[in-house]
Amino acid sequence: MNQFSELTWQGLWKNNPGLVQLLGLCPLLAVTTTLTNALGMSVATILVMVGSNITVSLVRQWIPREIRIPIFVMIIAGFVTCVQLLFNAYAYGLYQSLGIFLPLIVTNCIIIGRVEAFASKNAVIPSAYDGFIMGVGFSLVLLLLGAVREILGQGTLFDGADLLLGDWASILRIEFIEFEQSFLFIMLPPGAFVALGLILALKNSLNAKVEAAVVPVQIIEKPERARINKVS
């Protein structure tokens, strides 16, 4: 089994940060009011994950075990600050609409989770790929949640896309239903919890089918981990 397809499988489905590890719920629930916000958050998170995974993997042999956590946090915080400055300079509208959640990426546990669990033990290229694919897995959940909440909440898709992508993007805006009053519940955090719950339920109900379709190929390659205390 190729390491990269294993990582892909883990990041996108088996161990999806948004749906299985349930890490980073704060941005997941807070910024997914529209698809555009979700997209901006996705880009920022992927950038930070890839950047910090690469950096940690590069310097991993110089990091003493006892002080690894403060160093990881420092590297992540540095990357987040850089991303924040870049957004401020080149995507000002989005910078404003993401608000406090952009600097709060520092506290997103997925990032330090992947740095600690993967990048600090693996070579640069797999680490970069791990950061990327875990970021994509998280982003897919963000985007799905953003789309569902935007359609149900205000009946549109890509509202405010011009803030992220420039003026031309206002043509992306699709209006499905014209609401007299937007569906407040979905726009507020409780709606996000309910929508996330439904997506989790959907994931779990599809799980058996998807695993059946993907896993048989893997089982041959990846023998079950031997347990020392197993009597057989």
Partner 1 sequence: MKKIITKNGLILAAFALAVTAIVALTHQATKNEISEQERKQLLRILDQVIDESSYDNALYKHCVPVLSRQFLGRDKQQRTFIALKDNQPVAIAIETTAPNGYSGNINMLVGISKIGVVLGVRILSHQETPGLGDKIDLAKSSWVESFNNKSSNGAKDPTWQVKKDGGEFDQFTGATITPRAVVQAVNKSLSFFKNNKDLLFTSAERCGEQ
| Beta-sheet pairing, 156-157 with 174-175 | antiparallel
**Does 167 help bind partner 1 (rule: CB under 8 A)?**
no
**DSSP characters over 9-69:** HIIIIIT-TTTTS---HHHHHHSTTSHHHHHHHHHHHHHHHHHHHHHHHHHGGGS-GGGHH
The answer to whether 138 and 130 are in contact (CB under 8 A) is no
> What is the 8-class DSSP label of residue 156?
E
Nearest Cα to 137, choosing from 57, 219, 199?
Answer: 199
**For partner 1, the closer CB: 180 or 224:** 180
**Does 30 help bind partner 1 (rule: CB under 8 A)?**
no
Distance (Å, whole) CA 63 – CA 72: 9
Binding test (CB under 8 A) with partner 1, winner from 3, 5, 88, 204: 88
**Does 177 help bind partner 1 (rule: CB under 8 A)?**
no
β partners of residue 156: 175
Binding test (CB under 8 A) with partner 1, winner from 26, 77, 143, 147: 77
**Nearest distance in Å: CB 200, partner 1:** 24
**For partner 1, the closer CB: 4 or 92:** 92
**For partner 1, the closer CB: 143 or 187:** 187
Nearest Cα to 136, choosing from 6, 7, 26?
Answer: 7
Encoded tokens for 13: 């489905």
**Does 61 help bind partner 1 (rule: CB under 8 A)?**
no
- Span near partner 1 by CB under 8 A; candidates 15-23, 124-132, 181-189, 203-211: 181-189
**For partner 1, the closer CB: 22 or 169:** 169
**For partner 1, the closer CB: 10 or 84:** 84
For residues 111, 116, 121, 126, the Cα torsion angle rounded to the nearest 10 degrees is -10
Burial of residue 21, with CB atoms counted within 10 A of its CB: 0-12 exposed, 13-18 middle, 19 or more buried = middle
**Does 155 help bind partner 1 (rule: CB under 8 A)?**
no
**Does 86 help bind partner 1 (rule: CB under 8 A)?**
yes
22: region left, alpha or beta (phi > 0 left; psi from -120 to 50 alpha)? left
Binding test (CB under 8 A) with partner 1, winner from 15, 21, 81, 170: 81
**For partner 1, the closer CB: 102 or 140:** 102
**For partner 1, the closer CB: 5 or 96:** 96
Q: Which residues bind partner 1 (CB under 8 A)?
A: 33, 59, 62-64, 66-67, 70-71, 74-75, 77-78, 81-82, 85-86, 88-90, 92, 153-154, 160, 181-184, 187-188
